[in-house]
Amino acid sequence: MLWPAITRGWGRSPTRCSGSPNIVPTVCVILCPMAIKALLFDVDGVLLDSSATHRRIWDAWSDMRGLDRDLVWSLTHGRRPEDTVRDVAPGLDPTAERKVLNQLMAEEGDAFPAAPGAVSLLGKLDQRLWALVTSGSRIPVHRRFRLASLPLPPVQIYGEDVEQSKPHPEGYLKAAELLVVDPADCIVIEDTPHGITAGKAAGCTVIAVATTHAPGELTKADHCFPSLAEATSYLLAMISAC
């Protein structure tokens, strides 16, 4: 089968997530086996630069409960807080612990900066299909997007909207259904192994941004970029030209 090739001159090409540095060519060629109809974004670590704040909150909670900080942190990425609590402290009430975590968040403040490239990219998607798929909660995400001057898409899937959180594909499947597109025609943008697994299980193409994990931890993604800013030209070309 011959696939149409789309040629663009941007600064950096995607790479397989092997841990090796990206090569910076002057021209990148994308092979398009299908038309990409929608972009499905994770939030924390992709559109919001929130990792450092979340680490402080989980470290504080771990200390309060006498748990290993690194172990707890390793089980938080791309997951609902309640699911993490169930794994690391099965004797605690996940709902009650979520309230404790919310209080720690309130003490930290709730203004996260937009990830580099997020404002520019989302500003160019006004007439395009896109959605949020996050393990976070609706009200905090709305507040953080407003403070970061980020727009919200018509379709938003939050932790409370699904029965099973990432790495289960339910969130991405639901987003594609609401957008009335085939998951195979969607690109998922993720920063965690759990999120990548969810996107692939849904049947989507997955682009990783190595903002919270090393490239070597993101090897299941189809392609990997150092940041959303460096993925922008690739994503726009895929959704507009393929």
Query: Minimum mean pLDDT among 9-23, 40-54, 107-121, 175-189: which range?
Result: 9-23
Q: Are residues 161 and 217 in the same domain?
A: yes
List all residues 6 or more positions away from 219 whose beta carbon is below 8 Å from its beta carbon. 16, 17, 18
Rounded Cα distance between 74 and 60, Å, is: 15
**Same domain for 220 and 161:** yes
Rounded to an integer, the average pLDDT of 139-152 is 93
Do residues 118 and 220 share a domain? yes
- Residues 72 and 151 grouped into a single domain: no
Could you tell me if 72 and 156 lie in one domain? Answer: no
Based on the residue annotation, tell me whether 49 is a catalytic residue of this protein.
no
Same domain, 44 and 155: yes
Is 44 annotated as catalytic? yes
Q: Answer yes or no: do 218 and 122 share one domain.
A: yes
- Same domain for 170 and 213, yes or no, is yes
- Asked if pLDDT for residue 228 goes beyond 70, the answer is yes
pLDDT tens across 164-176, in order?
989 999 999 999 9
pLDDT at 90 over 90: yes
Q: Kindly state the DSSP code that residue 36 receives in the 8-state scheme.
A: -
**Do residues 119 and 72 share a domain?**
no
> Which one of 44, 49, 185, 191 is the catalytic residue?
44
Q: What is the per-residue pLDDT for 14?
A: 55
State the average pLDDT over residues 191-206.
97
Residues 6+ apart with CB under 8 A from 239: 36, 37, 38, 39, 125, 128, 187
User: Which domain covers residue 83, as residue numbers?
Assistant: 51-108
How many domains does the structure of the chain reveal? 2
The reply to whether 139 and 61 lie within a common domain is no
The residue-averaged pLDDT of 46-64 equals 89
pTM of the model: 0.77
Confidence band (pLDDT; 50, 70, 90) for 25? Answer: very low
Please provide the distance, in angstroms rounded to a whole number, between the alpha carbons at the two ends of the chain.
Answer: 16
